[in-house]
Structure 1
Amino acid sequence: MTKLPPDENHDKESRARLDALLATAVDGIVIIDKMGLIQVYSPACEKLFGYSADEVVGRNVKMLMPAPYRQEHDGYIEHYRETREKRIIGIGREVVGQRKDGTTFPMYLSVGEGTFNGDSMFVGIIHDITQRRYQEHALREREARLSSILETVPDAIVIIDEVGLIESFSPAAERLFGYAFADVLGKNVKLLMPSPYRESHDSHMERYRKTGEKHIIGIGRIVVGQRRDGTTFPMELAVGEISVGQRRLFTGFIRDITERQGTERRLQELQSELLHVSRLSAMGQMASALAHELNQPLSAIMNYAKAARRTIDGIDDPQVERARELIDKAGAQTSRAGQIIRRLREFIEKGKSNQAFENLNRVVEEAIALALVGVAETNVKVTVDLEAGLPQVLIDKIQIQQVALNLIRNSIEAMQGGALRDLTISTRRENDEYALVSVRDTGAGLAPEVAANLFQPFMTTKEQGMGIGLSICRSIIEAHGGELWATPNEDAGVTFSFRIPVTDREEVDENG
């Protein structure tokens, strides 16, 4: 091996170090002279731009730039040579590069100036930021989607840090509490709470930080919120915990249930009203049935009393006279009992209901809501098919809801223990004269002996039933000028249907 002079050894060593640096550098490195001609072009640049070093060394660096940078570059170089005014040298910035195939990509360019043999040279370090731009774009899209969700989601969303300071406050939260985001940012979330929650909140947070014992996190519950104006409202609060780096954040999802509680109160009132009417109807039906059943034995007693009176009429004896007097009194009381029963039946039969024109679909919907309270665990699949555009009907709303409620409840009970539990409730117009309501189940169906007497008083298949529910239902529907009947389904179960006549308002007004 020939030993080089000291200077040559130094130059060769420096060149080897430079080649190693260029070969291993992840970022592209381009060195140009004062005229902008490429002198050094690293392997990373070959991958980045698609040109080999042989294709670019000695050529103007502007070939790596798209318009308008390509047309402007020589002017920048000349301006710098004349004025020494720096626009990018010593300053990194994002620009655009152009590959051999004409495609462009974003890059971060850092330019430094040096000298070689007394002439200026410029070193450019090029970092491809395509992936970063993609990530930034994806992040902006995620932020836009999140912002859109926060803008449109009806529930309020509040995010706090581990000491309870508010970091995010959705538009729904602004509307719900009356605060703007800027008003609550960085403030303790307890300002959204009335006493005594406000005073105890910080201690709850501190206890959770120390013990990890959860009181509300991961568990939804109903609490009370306080608006900016000091008014309070019931709300359903669900809190979740998330980790962001080394930080813990808590996200609260808040739903105003003021309207829901009002609806629940209305349902409870309606249910109480239905129960009251149901009891009155049951009492009336029982009284009517008892009157009918007692009238026959009372008539028999009267006949026996008259026969006994005729038997002793020809006997002249003081004791017989006393018996005759007692028989007359018994006959008088029997007659009086019969009159009471007749008056009771007349009172029941002549009793008028509180009828008005109603939207039948709405009446049925309310009955469905009442009937389904507390039956979620029965796993009944409910299908509601209400025909639009039904005319209003002249009905006693409470009584018709009582009928629908009773039929729906009966159907649900009939399906207990069955594998198939499908309940279909429907309404439709029938022959322009009637509105029809049907309740179809997939229960065990009806035995022939039961079906024959289904609507008779005191007929029941329930162990603790009195057997007057369906009888009352039929009486109510018949009092409305309609019909109630049951039809076995071909596959399984029974369909109970009732029709109510459609009455013209003008006809009602004319008849007074």
Structure 2
Amino acid sequence: MFSPHGICLLWEPELIWLHVISDALIALAYFSIPFVLVIFVSKRRDLKFGWVYWSFGIFILACGLTHILSIYTLWVPVYGIEGLVKAATAIASVVTAGMLWPLLPQLLTIPSPFELRQAQEALKEEEMKGRDSEQLLQQFRQAQQALRESMSRLTAVVETAVDGFILIDARGRILLFNPACERLFGYRAAEVFHENVKMLMPPGYSAHHDHYIRSFLETGERKIIGIGREVIGMRKDGSTFPMELSVGEAKQDGESIFVGIIHDLTGRKHTEEQLRQAQKMEMVGQLSGGIAHDFNNLLTVIVGNAEFLGEQLRSRQDLRQISDDICQAGERGAELTQRLLAFSRRQLLHPREVDCHELLDSMRKLLRRTLRENIEIAITPNSKNTLAFADRAQLESSVLNLALNAQDAMPNGGHLTLNTGVVPLDDDYQAQHPEIKAGEYAMIAVTDDGMGMTEEVAARAFEPFYTTKEVGKGSGLGLSMV
């Protein structure tokens, strides 16, 4: 039998209680440490070596049991149990130590608190940089979106503009050619890309273009840059048209580029020409009207006196013939003054509803007697009634004048066709002839198979006193009266 350990201490109370209290406090501390480790490991799932904490917990718990048994063996000699517990503690400590030594290199790599703080600060700095980078990226994306929207708006403006837009580089090569330019010049955009813009100019203008650009780039002198001017453009088919060209300069990647804005002047030129022609006709009309009025008064006196002389000279046939010649010349002069008055619109008109079919039919005999026999006359009225509001006498005179002009165009004979119809005049026609309202109009068409007219003659055919006939064979007032 073994003696309790207290005998070794001679059962001195002071020694007994010193050992009891010391072992109890150590055991209490050893028992509390594993609980702390268990709570710590359960809360920190991210620990890399969590099993090490469990090993330490078992080892420390076993150490605590040895101190409890040390207290117990003071009175009860259970040294066998105490030995087993110490053996278990030894095994736990040896296993823990054996597992710890291989981990030492890895444990040494665990950052110190200072290093952790540095790492945290560096991480915060990187996070700030990341936020700044994200903000910059967001701003870049917003700028890209704004640029895309701006380009989309600019493209829409250029693509839908009525005026032409051409972009060229410093060498004169075409970089942009909008749909309006395609309509103006007759080229597709793909046909002119990287071609010299001189291809859109007639020779007289293209020879100077490169010189203007080169002079501006070398001297900065703005001969055509920033200035609108009137030039001539040349279409794909070789035809030309007037246009207003405004050229501006911009920079792209440090290189000069030039944008040309083109406005077609064809319509304006046509309107200006019509205005000039109208003003000229008005002046001629005023002049001819005044002359015709005064001349008609003179003719009245001349014809009246000639008729009076004719009555007085019945017995003198030779003198009577002279009087008749004077009367005939006066009547021709009166007819001429009537044409002048009709042209100047000073003649009194009596407009009323006129059946164009009936009017042409009533003129058959007159036309047959007036025109040469080698002129075949065909009147083909429209199946529908064609009513016009006009002065019948003036309308008959106009048809007769057209027939006489047609006869003169067919010296060897030919066919003269007169027909009627109703034609619609649309808004496009009204745009070219503002004095005419859009709608349906009665038509009398006079057609011949004569020699025709050149473009130059056709352009002046209705001018007063203009004629291509020999002197004495035409007054130049027939078509102008029409």
Q: TM-score range by the shorter chain?
A: 0.3 to 0.5
Max Rg structure: 2
TM-score by length of 1: 0.36
TM-score by length of 2: 0.38
- The structure with the largest strand share of the pair is 1
- The structure with the largest helix share of the pair is 2
